[in-house]
Structure 1
Amino acid sequence: MRATVWTVANTLGVVAGTPGELLTALLAAPRRPDRVVLPAGAPGVGELAAGLRALGPVEVVWEEQERPAPAGPPRLSDPAAVCAADPLRVTRAYEEEPGAHGGLRAAWLRAGQALVRDDQTPPGRALALLAALPEDAAAGVRDELSALARDAPWSVAGVREGRVTALTVCGGQPVGTGDRRVRALACLGDGTRIELDERGRLRTPAAPAPRLVEAVAATLATHPATALAAVGDTVLTGDRMGFVHAFSLAGLHQAAPHSGRVTALAATGGPRAYSGGADGTVRLWRPGADEDRRPVVARRPHPVAALHARGTALAVAWADGLVELRDRDAARAVRTFRPGPAVRAVALLPDGTLAIGTDTSRVRLRPA
């Protein structure tokens, strides 16, 4: 069943592991599909079709699948074998076989949506599995996956299990939370940590709050925000109408770079602000500069899920599960990674690693 859901979710540009999660993701998406192609005869596909039709006027089309010649079961405890085998067959084998297999089964079922993609490679599967391995995985499995992932564009620098809902860097140190009520974290130049809650209100663990934070909090109490960032003495917020607001003691600057909800913000010195939206664009904005100069930095047919910037580098997470590291000064302009689960937050750390937060873990990747 997971293989079917992952395959359909990849086709539709969302992240989901169960039929319920798939339907919820489609309901929350800016645009619902008019037509969905389902693999005829796949496990659980009838239940999935009924759920999709319940969304509204969705045309469900059945596609006959090629029937490969029968083959023996993949060696589920062999990292090289599972990375090279048919990923749909591996998924079904792990669903039927409850053994731990050195941690490979848990990692596969966690990262599976990234593993079954048509554009995935054996080194890419090894990297995704390495990032998804449980803490008690067998050392031999971890070592073999590391060897198999040598040709991947990243290496895994660390993994910490547990939910992550927001990430940032404060005082040179990563700061994160797994609190479902926190939508975003940010830090001002003086170290003041601020949070955006699920209602779009601003709060800070420190008391008393700086005057600027109090002023922004008062504004958001009546005009809730959908995104948050901070740099120096500037607090940036985004809203559901596509506006970005830069608050500082010197005044307020505003722009409307997006069509629809602002879903993520990031900022660096200058200040330079990056905004991501449900419209699938990431734009660069300099508060107080020419209103007409808000160039598109990235564009995809999926909403932006998270942003973080450091120096010339920008990390972008998309709603379909893709993470990009963009750096205009790097030899490789764009590096990509898919962890499998939905990405909730990203952060570029001072040691050069990229932290990625999901509902199951925080992974640190180092560009290879």
Structure 2
Amino acid sequence: MRATVWSLADQLGVVARSSAELVAALARDPRRTVVVLPDLHEAEVAELVLDLARVGHVRLIVESRTTSGAYQRLAGNGYAELNLDLEQWRDQERFERWRASTSAGVEVTTSSGQEVELSDPVAVCRADPWLVTAAYEKDEAGEHGGLRAAWLRAGQALCKKTSPASRALVLLSVLGDRADPRYAPALRELAGGAAWDLEWSRVSGDMAPPWPGPVTALATGRGPLAGCLLVAGVDGMVRTVQSADAAARGRMTVSCGQPWDLAALADGTMVYLDKHGHLKLESAWAVRPERSGIAGLLDDSPTRAQRLSEMLRGHRSTSLAHAESAGLGTVVLGDAAGAVRAFGDITDSVSLHEGAVTALAAVSLPMENEATTVPLVYSGGQDGTVRAWSPGSKPMAGTLRRRSCPVVAMDAAWTASGPAAVVAWADGLVEWINWATGAQQTFRPGPPVRAVALETGERVFVGMDEALTCLALRQ
């Protein structure tokens, strides 16, 4: 069942860990879809067919033997049936010739005959991934030192055509600290040939350091929070962890209930977006006010955070980003119609997408004299495009990236080699791109990606429902 779900999800450009998630993903996508399932004989997979058939814009064509469990489950449900056992549906003479041609001692088998040691992390990474998946799925009682749980957690990525080194990296990233302690070193050695180095990962159930919970948004800290990662979760908490090792540093309950997007200002103020699109600013992490002592008493003008809060009052958004500067900085908002608006040092707006803006990232580009900066905005949309725009100017002609699935999260940073960005897509792919050099690398963690963040040192953070991962490009 899982192999069928993962294969269909890959072809349809979504991430699905179960049949229920696949059905839900197709139900949300209004495009007419035809799914063809040849050689289907298992009754369990036939249940998936019945679930998919209830989605109005999905059509299915299924091939099955009349003696199979799948046929028995599907028969009698009112669907059109073309039964080739009935003479009216075949040319008898051609059928006899075909049967004679296939009776010359040719034996067809559905088993590869390959056996895999399911408690050997290196062996499972080198084996046929579909065979490993089927074996783990049948062996419900076996934990295999934590390998089975890790494999089934990231299986959609593990079953793609990739190298054993890349497979080892993915498996290592979701292994968790409850697994057999011998497995991580073995996987890390095999993953030495991958493009990425796993600096750390925190998986559901981890205790040292603890897993921070399901991720809804990520942001890198600035000012008093430099060297930290802000992790927003479904419980209405924003946790700070050390970006170097994920050690817990603090947490704060926000008033919105559940932050959906997040940005950090240089003074520790946090700008966040709730699931209804409302914007709020929280200043609990600011270490000191912008003015203190006599200067603070004499000058009662609004603080920078207060001025930004006033500018953003009443606005609703689908995504947000912030570019720091010596002034107010620039807060960027996207909306459901594809427009992107800038507030702060520059006020401007432009239409960039067909459909909703699903992710934004902003970076401050230093000018030649390095005394001033200009904001550069990257936007991702439901239309599967990534575009660039500098407020106060026309957007860059054309698209930077285009794929057949929506963007779900983005971040950008100014690095030693120029502006770079990380883009997460609805099909589970994470892309790191250096726009100055053209360098590009990808990572597919397996579970759906909810949020990404990028440090100036080009470490990439990937937030998911059951894991938080930190990657660095291998030098």
TM-score, length-scaled by structure 1: 0.92
Q: Does 1:103 align with 2:146?
A: yes
- 2:31 is matched with 32
Which of 229, 233, 236 lines up with 2:332 in the alignment?
A: 236
Which of 318, 329, 344 lines up with 1:226 in the alignment?
A: 318
Please tell me whether the aligned partners of residues 281 and 309 of structure 2 are also in contact (alpha carbons under 8 angstroms): no
Amino acid at match of 1:114: A
Query: Alpha-carbon deviation of 1:63?
Result: 6.1
Considering only CA atoms, is the larger Rg found in Structure 1 or Structure 2?
2
Partner secondary structure for residue 347 of structure 2: strand
Match runs of 1:196-235 below 5 Å = 196-206=273-283, 210-220=305-315, 224-232=316-324, 233-235=329-331
Partner secondary structure for residue 412 of structure 2: strand
Amino acid at match of 2:124: V
Q: Does 1:55 align with 2:23?
A: no
- 1:296 is matched with 399
Amino acid at match of 2:452: V
State the identity as a percent.
43
- 1:355 is matched with 461
Q: Which has the bigger relative contact order, CA under 8 A and spacing at least 6?
A: 1
**CA–CA distance in structure 2, aligned partners of residues 174 and 43 of structure 1:** 46
Query: Alpha-carbon deviation of 1:67?
Result: 4.4
Amino acid at match of 2:405: H
Match runs of 1:1-368 below 5 Å = 1-29=1-29, 31-39=30-38, 40-42=40-42, 44-62=44-62, 67-71=109-113, 73-97=115-139, 98-117=141-160, 119-161=161-203, 162-171=213-222, 172=226, 173-179=228-234, 181-206=258-283, 210-220=305-315, 224-232=316-324, 233-248=329-344, 250-269=345-364, 270-291=374-395, 293-311=396-414, 312-330=419-437, 333-368=439-474
Partner secondary structure for residue 74 of structure 1: coil
- 2:82 is matched with none
Do the aligned partners of residues 251 and 155 (structure 1) sit closer, same or farther apart at CA in structure 2, a change above 3 Å counting?
closer
Partner secondary structure for residue 126 of structure 1: helix
Please tell me whether the aligned partners of residues 273 and 285 of structure 1 are also in contact (alpha carbons under 8 angstroms): yes
- 2:239 is matched with none
For residues 268-327 of structure 1, what are the alpha-carbon distances to aligned partners after superposition, in whole Å with 9 as ceiling and x for unaligned?
002000000000000000001125x35411110010010000111110000000000001
Partner secondary structure for residue 44 of structure 1: helix
Amino acid at match of 1:288: G
For residues 41-79 of structure 1, what are the alpha-carbon distances to aligned partners after superposition, in whole Å with 9 as ceiling and x for unaligned?
256321211222211132212368984445254210111
**CA–CA distance in structure 1, aligned partners of residues 32 and 11 of structure 2:** 10
- Name the stretch that deviates more: 136-145 or 104-113: 136-145
**CA–CA distance in structure 1, aligned partners of residues 149 and 56 of structure 2:** 35
Aligned residues, how many? 360
**CA–CA distance in structure 1, aligned partners of residues 63 and 334 of structure 2:** 42
Amino acid at match of 2:150: A
Partner secondary structure for residue 24 of structure 1: helix
**CA–CA distance in structure 2, aligned partners of residues 251 and 148 of structure 1:** 49
Do the aligned partners of residues 18 and 228 (structure 1) sit closer, same or farther apart at CA in structure 2, a change above 3 Å counting?
same
- 2:238 is matched with none
Query: Alpha-carbon deviation of 1:349?
Result: 2.0
Unaligned runs of 5+ in 2: 66-107, 204-212, 236-257, 285-302, 365-373
Partner secondary structure for residue 210 of structure 1: helix
TM-score, length-scaled by structure 2: 0.72
Please tell me whether the aligned partners of residues 32 and 57 of structure 2 are also in contact (alpha carbons under 8 angstroms): no
Do the aligned partners of residues 8 and 33 (structure 1) sit closer, same or farther apart at CA in structure 2, a change above 3 Å counting?
farther
Query: Alpha-carbon deviation of 1:100?
Result: 2.2
Partner secondary structure for residue 349 of structure 2: strand
- Name the stretch that deviates more: 206-215 or 350-359: 206-215
Please tell me whether the aligned partners of residues 4 and 43 of structure 1 are also in contact (alpha carbons under 8 angstroms): no
Partner secondary structure for residue 75 of structure 1: coil
**CA–CA distance in structure 2, aligned partners of residues 155 and 316 of structure 1:** 18
Please tell me whether the aligned partners of residues 197 and 472 of structure 2 are also in contact (alpha carbons under 8 angstroms): yes
Query: Alpha-carbon deviation of 1:147?
Result: 1.4
